[in-house]
Amino acid sequence: DTAVSQTPKYLVTQMGNDKSIKCEQNLGHDTMYWYKQDSKKFLKIMFSYNNKELIINETVPNRFSPKSPDKAHLNLHINSLELGDSAVYFCASSQGTQYKNIQYFGAGTRLSVL
């Protein structure tokens, strides 16, 4: 039973399209995150929600919009996709900053923009 699950695993799309990635966690955590990992494996935080409230909003183009309908779900919508958006996007969750913010990651969504 997967703890943090993301869909889809792979996403291939054309420039200019709009796409969404979904994330769900069944760990009972109250905090969820979106990360972007580039081709050099650098993992960069994009957004974080705690109990459906946005708590981290890094310098990300406003074409990216997260939505958290409840604390077990965090979705990422991307408008007008660009070539530079190609990357692997990871969802993660943690129980606040307890246990020093140990985060559990999903398997990633590999986005290719053509």
Partner 1 sequence: QKEVEQDPGPLSVPEGAIVSLNCTYSNSAFQYFMWYRQYSRKGPELLMYTYSSGNKEDGRFTAQVDKSSKYISLFIRDSQPSDSATYLCAMPQGDSSYKLIFGSGTRLLVRP
Query: What is the binding site for partner 1 (CB under 8 A)?
Result: 4, 31, 33, 40-45, 48, 50, 55-56, 90, 92, 94, 96-97, 100-108, 110
19 vs 105 by CB, closer to partner 1: 105
* Nearest-approach distance from CB 111 to partner 1, in angstroms: 14
14 vs 99 by CB, closer to partner 1: 99
16-33 exposure pattern, b = at least 16 Cβ within 10 A, e = fewer: eeebebbbbbeeebbbbb
Are 114 and 15 within 8 A, CB to CB? yes
Are 78 and 60 within 8 A, CB to CB? no
